Amino acid sequence: INTKLPNVATTIFTVMSNMANEYKAINLSQGFPNFETDSKLMNLVTSAMQKGYNQYAPMPGLASLREIIAEKTNALYNSNYHPDTEVTVTSGATQAIFTIISAFINKGDEVIVFKPAYDSYEPSIELFGGNVIPVQLSTPNFTVDWEEVANKITSKTKMMIINTPHNPTGTILSKEDMLKLENLLKGTDIILLSDEVYEHIIFDSQPHQSVARFPGLSERAFITASFGKTFHTTGWKMGYCIAPKELMEEFRKVHQFNVFCSNHPMQYALAEYLKTPDNYLSLPNFYQKKRDLFLSLIKDSKFSYTPASGTYFQLLDYTSITNESDVAFAERLTKEYKIASIPVSVFNLNSQDDKVLRFCFAKTDETLKKAAEILCEI
Ligand code: PMP
Ligand code: GLN
């Protein structure tokens, strides 16, 4: 048979989490918290089920949830999204991303993707016959060379995907970056997909430069978000996307046949829980403490690093430890030292030379301490 994704293997997150389980290693690979979500949120799900929210939700999402998402977004970013026509609740950000790509990408369309990139973007583009046009982030700080981006825009460029705060590097786009991007896209028909799943996980009092703040960007953009990241519930697979009405209409044409709707009782619970802004506004402080704890505990190790500006991932450079490839070293760390991480080359292009691993610090302080002890022995 003529298969559609001949070069795609099982995602690294499954590979590394399986290896962590097999070797009983501390799992700092796949990004998920090892602590519970707020019991208030769990109780809201139970009460939603008892109240009878057990059948299909409305196709675009529960009205009360869309309303509070619009309210929150507009308040935080001074934007003007309408809950009826410009917000859709999805089964995680992954589904939103896949649905956006499937709704717009045709054979031969070019999509600009910054590398390293989250691993779902490219296979999704390829499935619909699109061509990935990679732009490598510039080392050492993973910044964007906007001139290079300008040079890669052609008449075939249909979409560009950005991600801030950025997985796997933990970097963020600045206001200046966004203004340059706005300028670059002016007068084009390029659709922007802005993956902002870590919008609330950003450190050192830096503001999140959401695309929603920039009218010249938001008029052409989908923004994707994930409740999994924000409320420590990655297993719920709940998220949403926002976009101007004309774009959202196209999105919903696909969404209705892709999943139709997402989990109803959880939508009710999330709508209630979002009524308390502190439930997400407390996140930068919460995760910054974890980042700082982790980094303070490994400061005498042989790894070097620049502290993450956002996300719950920290890249560690192991140049002074070994010459091994990141894949080989990540495997050895899991098997011999009992600590699992993600080799960054899998998100990258031609980058077997990268000597960096990604560690997830969305873990209890106890786990971070145990992990740091191991990392200091290497
Ligand atoms: N985009 C990025 C950059 C991510 O890190 C993730 C989470 N792994 C997703 C999208 C997907 O989010 P969700 O789990 O809500 O599908
Ligand atoms: N976003 C998570 C990460 O980057 C994992 C997502 C997944 O397992 N598909 O680790």
SS (H, E, C) the chain: CCCCCCCCCCCHHHHHHHHHHHCCCEECCCCCCCCCCCHHHHHHHHHHHHCCCCCCCCCCCCHHHHHHHHHHHHHHHCCCCCCCCCEEEECHHHHHHHHHHHHHCCCCCEEEEEECCCCCHHHHHHHCCCEEEEEECECCCCECCHHHHHHHCCCCEEEEEEECCCCCCCCCCCHHHHHHHHHHHCCCCCEEEEECCCCCCECCCCCCCCHHHCHHHHCCEEEEEEHHHHCCCHHHCCEEEECCHHHHHHHHHHHHHHCCCCCHHHHHHHHHHCCCCHHHHCHHHHHHHHHHHHHHHCCCCCCECCCCCECCEEEEECCCCCCCCHHHHHHHHHHHHCEECEEHHHHCCCCCCCCEEEEECCCCHHHHHHHHHHHHHC
Shared domain check, 161 and 307 = no
Measured from the CA of 13, which atom of ligand 1 is nearest?
Answer: 8
ipTM (interface predicted TM): 0.97
Predicted confidence at residue 183, as pLDDT, reads 98
Q: What's the confidence (pLDDT) of residue 349?
A: 60
Distance of alpha carbon 62 from alpha carbon 36, whole angstroms: 25
Nearest of 120, 12, 111 to residue 346 by alpha carbon: 12
92 ligand 1 Cβ < 6 A = yes
Is the CB–ligand 1 distance for residue 93 below 6 Å? yes
Q: What is the distance between the alpha carbons of residues 102 and 304, in angstroms, rounded to a whole number? A: 40
Mean pLDDT of the chain: 96
Polymer length of the chain: 378
Q: Whose CA is nearest to atom 4 of ligand 2?
A: 31
Ligand 2 pocket test: pick from 10, 14, 28, 30 the residue with the most ligand atoms within 8 Å of its Cβ: 30
**Which is the closest atom of ligand 2 to the Cα of 17?**
8
In a domain, 126, yes or no: yes
In this structure, the answer to whether residues 99 and 241 fall within a common structural domain is yes
Tens digits of per-residue pLDDT, 48-84? 999 999 999 999 999 999 999 999 999 999 999 999 9
pLDDT of residue 346: 87
Q: Regarding beta strands 339-340 and 26-27, do their DSSP bridges make them parallel or antiparallel, or are they unpaired?
A: parallel
Structure token digits, residue 82: 């309408």
Ligand 2, atom 7: closest residue by C-alpha: 13
C-alpha 363: how far from its chain's center? 17
When divided into structural domains, the chain yields a total of 2
Domain shared by 16 and 94, yes or no:
no
pLDDT at res. 2: 87
Query: Are 299 and 316 within 8 A, CB to CB?
Result: no
Return d(Cα 197, Cα 230) in angstroms, integer. 8
Q: Does the pLDDT of residue 31 top 90, yes or no? A: yes
Question: In which domain, by residue range, is 300 found?
Answer: 12-30+282-377
Residue at 348 is within a domain: yes
Query: Which among 111, 60, 73 is positioned nearest to 258, based on CA atoms?
Result: 60
In a shared domain, residues 232 and 107: yes
Asked if the structure places residue 79 within a domain, the reply is: yes
Does 8 score more than 80 pLDDT? yes
What is the structure's pLDDT at 292?
98
Three-class SS of 98-115? HHHHHHHCCCCCEEEEEE
Q: Which ligand is nearest to the CA of 118?
A: 1
Q: Is 168 in the pocket of ligand 1 (CB under 6 A)?
A: no
Ligand closest to 165 (CA) is: 1
With a CB cutoff of 8 Å and minimum separation 6, the contacts of 247 are 191, 220, 221, 222
Cβ 228 under 6 angstroms from ligand 1 = yes
Q: What is the pLDDT of residue 140?
A: 83
For ligand 1, atom 15: residue with the closest CA: 92
Ligand 1 geometric centre to CA of 147 (Å) = 28
Question: What pLDDT is attached to residue 352?
Answer: 58
Residue 328 CA to ligand 1 centre (angstroms): 25
Of 161-175, 284-298, 352-366, the poorest mean pLDDT is in: 352-366
pLDDT above 90 covers a percentage of the chain that reads 93
Mean pLDDT over 82-99 rounds to 98
Determine which residue's CA is closest to atom 12 belonging to ligand 1.
Answer: 93
pLDDT-derived band at 7, boundaries 50, 70, 90: confident
Considering only CA atoms, which residue is closest to atom 3 of ligand 2? Answer: 31
How many Å apart are CA 301 and CA 231, to the nearest integer? 32
pLDDT at 348: 80
Is residue 24 assigned to a domain? yes
42 assigned to some structural domain = no
Q: Which atom of ligand 1 is nearest to the CA of 311?
A: 5
**Same domain for 319 and 217:** no
Mean pLDDT across 198-210: 98
Which ligand is closest to the CA of 11, given by its number?
2
**Ligand 1 mutation pick, 88, 94, 236, 342, max ligand atoms within 8 A of CB:** 94
Kindly state whether residues 180 and 238 are assigned to the same domain.
yes
CB of 148 within 8 A of CB of 338? no
36 inside domain: no
Q: What's the pLDDT score for residue 359?
A: 98
Give dist(CA 97, CA 338) in Å, integer.
34
* Chain position carrying tokens 């077997």: 352
Give residue ranges with CB within 6 A of ligand 2: 11, 13, 30-31, 167
Q: Are residues 349 and 311 in the same domain?
A: yes
Mark whether 221 and 152 lie in a shared domain.
yes
Q: Which of the listed residues 246, 279, 312 is the one where a domain comes to its end?
A: 279
Residues 6+ apart with CB under 8 A from 22: none
- Give 227-280 pLDDT, tens digit per residue: 999 999 999 999 999 999 999 999 999 999 999 999 999 999 999 999 999 999
> Which residues have C-beta within 8 Å of that of residue 10, sequence separation ≥ 6?
none
> Does residue 241 share a domain with residue 346?
no
- Provide the token pair at 40: 């208030």
* Closest ligand, as measured to the CA of 226: 1
Residue 31: nearest ligand to its CA? 2
Final residue belonging to a domain, choices 279, 299, 328: 279
> Do 88 and 168 share a domain, yes or no?
yes
